[in-house]
Structure 1
């Protein structure tokens, strides 16, 4: 059975608890990081947790992934998103990996600050996966042993400044502004039998109640097992680290057709990027002040439900 874990603040104290029907059962102990929490609290230990509860409405949400963990991301990892980006998912030969600054991580109900220098602010709903244990050498992760490596799942919104990310070729910089990484509300801890459902989760993102993104994890190009296998051969991973698995189609970003890209390649850089920014200027889908963005991820049968993220776009004050 999947369990909803909430990291929260109550009476000036940061705590962790199990959420069911709007009530929180606190988990005993002090856990300063997601690593500390997942290592001390396997899902099997928490299934029988009981005791006094507090209403969820009385607490302040915190991110279930703390800022002292790694924030690793996959790019162009859904078939339809690749197609709308002018790529062929059947010939892609590499897993695009990048990182976001952990200082961008905020709770799921946070406001998202649009910096003054950013013209084209985009949304990207993503399934986030939280590691259960350290990986410090090359390992082979499979569908059969994936449960040994992952503790559970969260919602991630990979907000992106497209006018920084694309023309400057700066994924890290364009995606790492403060508040550009809401996580949660819940860390959904999974039992072994829950893992097959990671392939049938529905991701839905709305802006001002209008659906912009709606797809299933069945469309992933590189799945969690092969991605963790690849990453294990590159660098160390720790328990509690976050892997964001990519976004479906429906983002505000508009990519020129392959033919236009080939033509633009012959132009001076300044002219090429002027045309690109003009194309984005015509896209009303980019986020504006006051827009309300909501993100949901759940299985078809509802047995896995990661909750709802709710973000309002606000203007930077400095």
Structure 2
């Protein structure tokens, strides 16, 4: 592997001039910089990142921790969208991403071993003690979605707007005549679930409709659970006339269950999906959606973490990215009202 000294010798300049040119520093004439960069490319030069880290006091790597099994993470569009946002923002600041899925040894160890400069925990659980450890050890950290209104460690977070968007969706279903509204949520150790359940209850209360827990189901956020729980809802003595699905994995499972029974959307059952996948638009009929801007969440998380790593603190401790209610053809007037 060629060294900076070899490039300097071939270019006829000093070692420090090559170093400044390769690191995009001032003090190098444009024609000299161009010559050095061309030589570096021809000689297949790559910077020694361990040495660079010692000089710059940074590794140039951000850990993206996903505390879920790889099979789940790679099948859920949420993670690919958030990684896209994270990588776009990280690349702008010359950081690379290191993906850690279902980490067993604790998230802080990645930082302690000088493998990364900071950590983004994606889809954190509110009872995850590894996050407490990150805070205690003062590791630069951002969590997505964070802890919502629940008490948690003092850590920077980025979340989608969950309350008003879901409240609007439930209110819209009620305006169509639906009162038996099911909600397939995730586990209650996720801020996504607790915040959206609170919004669901608030919308019912505002319209004078009693909350019935039998229409609430907790999933593991998977397609399989979406299928099974939708089946249990449809088998009830008083099945729901509409359903809200919490993410892009639960929704396809629920839709498969509905189709397998020969039911029509929205004639027999209205469906609202929460998610970020463009596939929701392609479903027939197109799905009414609470669209979460997950790429923007990823960008905001990376930006916030870089501020912590380079400045010591973020501009905002808790960032909320707006969500949108998009009304399409999967929701209709309750036929009992017609």
User: Do they superpose with TM above 0.5?
Assistant: no
Relative contact order, higher structure (CA 8 A, sep 6+) = 1
Structure number with larger C-alpha Rg = 2
More helix by share: 2
Please tell me the TM-score bracket, short chain as reference: under 0.3
TM-score by length of 1: 0.25
More strand by share: 1
TM-score by length of 2: 0.24
